[in-house]
Structures are given as structure tokens and as C-alpha cells.
A and B are shown apart, each in its own frame.
Chain A
């Protein structure tokens, strides 16, 4: 019996040694081949998520030591779906040994899905790449399933009733506005005061009356002012210019001597003054183009008379119409 026991023990030793060797070899092999994958993850709760909630996912992943994460392979920020936004994706190298590297990946999502009852949804799978020279290793972060809840009262007072008070869903809150009533009032008061001041200034300067006056009335006043300087050659040129401006304004375009017939055809009220108008253009040609005319006070008077006559004719025509 004792011999048999001993023999039995002798047979077990090599078997024990073989098993020991196998375990050792297996451990050594495992140490050489670090597998790429997720070693730890924090995904938060996968239920009771409401519209607008921010979802944060953390993953600790490991790769063989020669591999490095390719930052460009991280999914870009932006819309992943019509209801899902990737706000941020980030990474950090947290440990590095001779065999492996560990990275922490951080993804921040925001959901805009607004369910009317509890809905099962999923974030899409995301892929991250790791490079070692020419070799590439890809790690896929799997889709994450969760449920979204509607925004509802915890203890509903009424179900499917029309009344706002007892409605199943609460009405949206009105946004609070900044009070601007006082500011608006101040702006109105200041604007009215400014307008009054501008009108007052225009009235004092005479511009307001000028706007309502006939072009020939305006020309009359300008010629009258210039008459004081009748000895100055340029004063007469300016006076002629003022009357020309009046004709141009009334005609709606630059009016020249050879177009006076058309002008009178269009403005019948001046038909009685054709000779005077022609004389004016003749005078203007002599003074401005031939430069053979020396102006006298009489010429200024003639211009003023013409302006007065034409303004009168215009006024009469307006009254009749």
C-alpha cells in the first residue's frame, strides 16, 4: 500500500510540473499580447433622461504600449442625429507601462429629443483609432441604449383635460422680459425734442420756407441777394445760375436754350412768357459763353422781374388745378 502510494505520488509530480509550466507559459504569452479594449466605463444612469439633459460618458481604454491615440480620429463636435448633439470629445493618457498604455476618453452628449411617453433610444457607436507606425488599431465604443422620459408632472392632477389648470402637460413658462418702458419713454421724449429743434433751426435758417416756395421764388431771393454785388462779375454769373437751376428743377432735367420750346409745350402756364424766357437764355449765352456781356443793375432787375412773373404764373396754374 505504502509502495503503491509512493508510486502514485511519483506519477503526480511530473503532472504537477507540467501543469505549472503550462500556467507559466500562458501568463508569459498573455503578458506579451495586451488586448486593445475598454477596461472601465462610467455611463451614468440610462433612464429618466429628459429633453436638454447633458450625458457624460467616461471610458478607460488600453492599447499595447507601442500604439498611440490618433486625436483626429475622435468624433468631431456637432450633430450626430437630429436629436443628439456631441458637445465635446476629449482624451487623456493616464498610465503608461512597458506593456500597455491607458487612455481616458470623455464624451459629452446633449439630447434634444422630446418624447410624449417613455422612449428607448441609443447613442451611435463611435470609433477611435490608435497608430503604431504603419499599423492601425481601431476601437469601437459601442452604442449606448437608454430611455428618455417626457416632461410631465410627477403627480398629474388631470389627464387629457382641456382646462389649462388641470391639463396633463403644463404650459410653457413665459420668458421673463427686461422692463424697457421707462427707456422707451425717454427715447420718445428725446426724439420729439430733437425733431422740434431741427424744425426750429430749419425755420430760422429759412430752409423750410424755401422747400415750399416755387423754384422761381427761390431764384428771385437769390438774385435779390446777389444784386448788392452787381459790380462783381461773378455775382451776375451766380444770379444766372440761380435762374437756370430754377428752370432745371421745374423741367426735371438740365434745360438748354434749344429746348425751351419743348419746356413751354409741357408747362403751358409759361406760354405767355416765351419771349422773356428766350431773352433770358440769350442773355445767359452772351454772359457765360460769349463772355461779351458786362452786367449792370438793370440786368439783375430783369432777372428778378422774370422770376417774379414765372413764379406768379406757376402759382396761378396751381390755384387753377
Chain B
């Protein structure tokens, strides 16, 4: 083994330990969301943006805050409201100490290149103009203001929305959803013990205190980009697994070509689009990161199985006639694909 390979293997082993620490730290704060936290850690090590969706009061915001605090770096948060405009993210005007009007940098620009997490709470309450600005920030990690371009190389966007309320909300456009690496659906814990713990343990009553009680900045956030590149180059993808990943994506786009049957659904007319180049690249990247987190140096079908729902569910656009039960149909489609495509 060459020195370079040995060094990168050692580096990845060290980082694996840190990733486990991060995972434990978040798990100590948030109860009963182990699978979601696993996926969030995968997204962090792929440098992908995350959108959380779930019922009211299941702990979406607390989970994102806990993750942001554990990651370290500069953290900014903004609440999505109907009157929020793009410039509110970039600057704000106020009366300065000298009594004169002044313009100051808004939450996006305040920390410059050191901005690590931008947390957008209730994203679907903001108008499409704001989504549009966010599209650029997420895709290019930059924004233009005051006649120059600001870059955020370490930025990761966390956003959440609740799925119950639909009044005065703006559905995220397909392009915006596609820029989120993962869309995670949070459900409340089902285990009796965990529910009793959440109900009677006073530790979980105050979210601020709960987050403060956990360790902060357990990772050197400014090294995450490099480690993400190292993971992608170190974890091996054999020809067999590449074939498998390719056919999974193809089957999600053209289920009829793979003989996938869904009851009462004409699969030929089901899928309108989705899993484009960005989606398939995210799938491969997250499969590699998942393999690394599970201490394997090559991707296996299990890695695809672990991440495929979080990566593909919000990227599959189905025929509007099936929208009445869209979520269940997409879920069935993904299960059908996983059960049908063999490997090898």
C-alpha cells in the first residue's frame, strides 16, 4: 500500500471516529430518530442540503438545531414568513449608533465564508422569490450583493416544513426540492419506552436547555469538504455495484421496462420525471458515505437500500391523476424496484 493511500486510510479512520461521536451527540439530544440521524450524518459527509418534513411537534427544529450546534461553525437561522423577501436574507437597514441610517449585512452575509449552517425554519411559508434566492445559494454556494459575489464554501442548508398546514404556504418548486440532497420524513417515535421518556422526563421539556446540554462543535467543520472528497475517492464502487445502481435509477424512471407492477396503476404512465443527473449522483455519493460510516471500503447493495428513499422520494414526479395517493404509490414503486432489480 502506498504512503498516500495509507495516510488517507488513517485519516478516514480518524474521521470515522468523529462521525460516530457526532451521531452519538445528536442521538443523546433527540430521542427515537436514530435512522433519520444516520441519514443526516450521511448527508453531512456528502455536503448535501437537507429538508425535514413531518407532523407538528415531532422535533424537526430541535433536531436541526442540535445537528447545527454539534457541527460547529457559524450558524444562522431565519423563519419563513409570508412577508419575507430575498433582500431580508442579504441585508437590513437600521438607524446606527450615530443616528444615521445604515445598511448592514443580513444573516447570509454576516459570517462571510465561515457560515457553516443556514437553517431555514418553515421554508414553505416563504414566497417563491425567497426560494429562488435559496436555489442559487444551495446550488452554487454563493450570492451576489453590493456589486460583488459572496462565497460560502462550507455552507450546508437545513430546512424544515410541516406537512399538515397548507394555508398561506407556498409549495417548493421541483427545482428547489431537487437541490436538497435528502428529504427526510420525521415521524414520532413509536416505542412505548421512548414516548414515556419524552412525556415524563423533564430533560425534554425545554428544547433550549436540551440543546445546550449537548457537546458543541464536535467536528472541525472547515475540514468537512476535504473529508467528503476523500470518502468519495477512497470508497470503491465495483462494476457490479455500478450496474446495480444504474438499473435502480433506470427502474425508478421507467418501471414498465423492468416489469414492475403496482396494483391498480398503469406503470407505463406513472412516472413523468425525476432522478436526473443530480439525483443519481447524490445516490452514488450517499451510498459511498453510508459504506464508509459502516466501516466498509466498498459500496454494497445494502448502502443503496439505506439511502434510496431519502434521495429519490422527492425527485420522482408522477402523473397528476395518481396524486390522490402519490406518497403511498411512490413508496410502493421504490419497494417494487428494490425487490425486482437483482444484484449481481
Enumerate chain A interface residues (CB-CB to B < 8 A): 237, 240-241, 244-245, 248, 253-254, 256-258, 284-285, 288-291
Contact = CB atoms under 8 A, between A and B. Distances in A.
Contacts of A244: 342-344
Nearest to A257: B302
A258 B302 contact: yes
Interface in B324-344: 338-344
A256 B240 contact: no
Interface of B: 236, 238, 240-241, 296-302, 305, 338-344
A241 B301 CA distance: 14
For the complex of A and B, the 10 pairs showing the least CB-CB separation, nearest first, are A253-B339, A254-B342, A290-B298, A288-B240, A258-B302, A241-B344, A289-B298, A256-B301, A289-B300, A291-B238
A285 B341 CA distance: 17
A244 B342 CA distance: 9
A285 B342 contact: no
Contacts of A240: 344
Contacts of A248: 342
A258 B296 CA distance: 14
Nearest to B336: A253
B173 to A, nearest CB: 35
A252 to B, nearest CB: 8
A244 B297 CA distance: 22
A289 B240 contact: yes
A245 B343 CA distance: 9
Nearest to A258: B302
Chain A interface helix/strand/loop/mixed: helix
B300 A291 contact: no
Contacts of B298: 285, 289-291
A258 B339 contact: no
A148 to B, nearest CB: 55
Given A253-B339, A289-B241, 15 more contacts: A237-B344, A240-B344, A244-B343, A254-B340, A256-B301, A256-B302, A256-B305, A257-B300, A285-B298, A288-B343, A289-B238, A290-B236, A290-B238, A290-B296, A291-B298
Contacts of A237: 240, 344
A254 B241 CA distance: 14
A245 B342 contact: yes
Given A256-B302, A256-B305, A288 B338 contact: no
A291 B302 CA distance: 16
A254 to B, nearest CB: 4
Contacts of B339: 253-254
B200 to A, nearest CB: 34
A222 B340 CA distance: 23
Contacts of B338: 254
30 contacts: A237-B240, A237-B344, A240-B344, A241-B344, A244-B343, A244-B344, A253-B340, A254-B338, A254-B339, A254-B341, A254-B343, A256-B301, A256-B305, A257-B300, A258-B302, A284-B344, A285-B300, A288-B238, A288-B240, A288-B344, A289-B238, A289-B240, A289-B298, A289-B299, A290-B236, A290-B238, A290-B296, A290-B297, A290-B298, A291-B298
Nearest to A286: B298
Contacts of B241: 288-289
A237 to B, nearest CB: 7
Nearest to B241: A289
A256 B304 CA distance: 11
Contacts of B341: 254
A285 B238 CA distance: 10
Contacts of B302: 256-258
A267 B342 CA distance: 20
Contacts of A254: 338-343
B339 to A, nearest CB: 4
Nearest to B303: A289
A151 B93 CA distance: 105
Contacts of A253: 339-340
A284 B240 CA distance: 11
A245, A254, A289, most chain B CB atoms within 10 A = A289
A215 to B, nearest CB: 13
A240 B236 CA distance: 20
